[in-house]
Chain A
Amino acid sequence: MAEVKKIATRESYGNALAELGKDYPDLVVLDADLAAATKTGIFKKAFPDRHIDCGIAECNMVGIAAGLATTGKIPFVSSFAMFAAGRAFEQVRNSVGYPKLNVKIGATHAGISVGEDGASHQCLEDLALMRTIPGMVVMNPSDDVEAKAAVKAALDHVGPVYIRFGRLAVPVINDKPDYKFEIGKGVVLREGKDVTLVATGLEVSETLEAAEKLAADGIDAKVINIHTIKPLDEDLIVAAAKETGKVVTVEEHSVIGGLGSAVCDCLSEKAPTKVLKIGVNDTFGESGPAVELIKKYGLDAEGIYNKVKAFV
């Protein structure tokens, strides 16, 4: 088998910004002293005048982006998820969300796959925080192809958008000629009748692998990639729940407030179904190599396989 190409979605973010910069003259990129890590440095190289380093002051950066947006600019605010969604939450809510300004938040280094930096930098709450803001689009792409498509879709969407990117290189799974990205539309990656596995971000490839293992045991799992947490593709999830009778959500995020909660919010109202939420179980992360942490917290294919097997 050929080696699978792996790219971190933060890299895709920087590349997409640089590629789109030419066609979108109003696109400006803001960073808070992390351009090398968030990969907005790639954009800076191409468009130095449109890259604004705000220094280590994320709340101010979000406010500056709001001001820029009132004048017609399309600012992409970039920092680690912990600081973009966590530290600057109230600025995102009041200076961007409430006035519904056309600000895009590119949040990198989300989840425990931050790795060695440890719990202080491993944001497990961003999806929960961002999806409570009225009008906020919340996306969590699964690979390089999807991450680039999400950046383009965010640019074309008028209004606030939050996109979550990762530090860890992840397999490219969407490099198919018929791949289409639409905000709010989930993607069925595998058909199955016994259980529906709904995954987001880097957990999509792990979940696909888990589905293969389950198949070997005679469990036929349907796999849905939810790249947009909000607005959630409720029709797709309700139909899948009715079809398979059991639903499992998989995310590199707290089990409180993220994809799992969004799916439960939807199903409890529209199609009550037993749901197993796989994620980080109301605990902080820790230091360690990303791949080891994903395994330790049961978020690798093996961990997902074991939990789903016990569930069905």
Chain B
Amino acid sequence: MDTLALKKNANEIRKGIITAVHSAKSGHPGGSLSAADILTYLYFEELNIDPKNPKKEDRDRFVLSKGHIAPGFYSTLAQRGFFPVEDLKTLRHTGSYLQGHPDMKHIPGVDMSSGSLGQGGSAAVGMALSAKLDNKDYRVYCLFGDGEIQEGQVWEASMFAGARKLDNLVFIVDNNGLQIDGKIEDVCSPYPIADKFKAFNFHVIEIDAHDFDQIAAAFKEARETKGQPTAIVAKSIKGKGVSFMENQASWHGAAPNDEQYEQAMKDLEEIGKSL
């Protein structure tokens, strides 16, 4: 898929995020929008998956450790054909299968339930370890938030992955710089992020999370890296694509009202036209 097509898909995914969160009247648009390009690349280019057979045995696995960006994840899965895009409007509604945080029991394409921060990395490590035990060649990808890596369990998982040389594993950090209480460096700085992963024996790649060429090159480099896991630290803009949400911590976990919804969709329509 060429870069233009990826950009168009990412923009549709962003529309789905706004639609879902507006319909739910709650949810997490900021981090969903910052991770939308990474998610697009993973699901339209990188992952060996089949929307018609979500449980395909030797599929690549993806774990959304920052489970609160479920709107971004679901919108990507819907856009990729795992379930109808219209269902995004049921997000967080009573009785909907689209739970507030990813639920592997009920959502096609979700490989691991998540939402309690810091836990997804360990599950991803378990999946990667299983592939090694059985000499299978599927790969495992896990997306973290940059605030999330304040959780100690992330580093327990990283220590294990580095020690076991799990080169079929990629950790991605969506480095949008903001968490609920403000800037990550003001709350409890996790910087320097790249150096931390290097110290845990990861191969580390730093990229712009909104540049598809850099994203493609990073995943290629990760595939070619042998003998150690890869960490991709992706510098992103929280709320990317919606003018009034960009770089605002307040849009971490808030839904747009009707007026804000119209404005956000207009912003994304314009981006779509400019592509």
Q: What's the dominant secondary structure at chain A's contact region? A: helix
B124: interface (CB < 8 Å): yes
Ordered by A's residue number, 13 sampled pairs between the chains whose C-beta atoms are within 8 Å are A55-B159, A57-B153, A57-B159, A60-B125, A62-B122, A63-B120, A63-B121, A66-B112, A68-B126, A69-B126, A70-B111, A91-B153, A99-B105
- Partner of A100 from B105, B120, B152 at Cβ < 8 Å: B105
Which A residues lie within 8 Å of B129 (CB)?
A: 52, 64, 67-68
Top 3 nearest A-B pairs by Cβ distance? A67-B126, A63-B122, A60-B156
The minimal Cβ–Cβ distance linking B55 to chain A, given in whole angstroms, is: 10
- Number of B interface residues at 8 Å Cβ cutoff, please give it: 32
B122 nearest in chain A by CB position: A63
The minimal Cβ–Cβ distance linking B217 to chain A, given in whole angstroms, is: 28
Which A residues lie within 8 Å of B48 (CB)?
A: none
Q: Add 17 more A-B contacts to A63-B153, A70-B112 (CB < 8 A).
A: A63-B123, A63-B126, A64-B125, A64-B126, A64-B157, A65-B126, A66-B126, A67-B63, A67-B126, A68-B130, A70-B126, A75-B126, A90-B116, A91-B119, A94-B119, A95-B113, A100-B105
A125 to B182 CA separation, bound complex (whole angstroms): 37
Q: What's the dominant secondary structure at chain B's contact region? A: helix
B187: interface (CB < 8 Å): no
A98: interface (CB < 8 Å): yes
Which A residues lie within 8 Å of B126 (CB)?
A: 63-71, 75
- Partner of A57 from B116, B120, B134, B156 at Cβ < 8 Å: B156
Which A residues lie within 8 Å of B125 (CB)?
A: 60, 63-64, 67
A59 near B156 with CB under 8 A, answer yes
The minimal Cβ–Cβ distance linking B75 to chain A, given in whole angstroms, is: 22
A50: interface (CB < 8 Å): yes
B127 near A60 with CB under 8 A, answer no
A73: interface (CB < 8 Å): yes
A28: interface (CB < 8 Å): yes
B153 nearest in chain A by CB position: A59
Which B residues lie within 8 Å of A49 (CB)?
A: 133
B105 near A71 with CB under 8 A, answer no
Contact with A along B143-175 (1 / 0, CB 8 A): 000000000110011011001000000000000
B157 near A60 with CB under 8 A, answer yes
Which B residues lie within 8 Å of A72 (CB)?
A: 130
B180: interface (CB < 8 Å): no
Contact with B along A72-90 (1 / 0, CB 8 A): 1101000000000000001
B63 nearest in chain A by CB position: A67
Which A residues lie within 8 Å of B116 (CB)?
A: 90, 94-95
A98 to B120 CA separation, bound complex (whole angstroms): 13
B116 nearest in chain A by CB position: A94
Contact with A along B96-138 (1 / 0, CB 8 A): 0000000111000001110110011111111111110110000
B156 near A71 with CB under 8 A, answer no
A99 near B104 with CB under 8 A, answer yes
Which B residues lie within 8 Å of A59 (CB)?
A: 119, 122, 152-153, 156
Which B residues lie within 8 Å of A169 (CB)?
A: none
A60 to B159 CA separation, bound complex (whole angstroms): 10
A54: interface (CB < 8 Å): yes
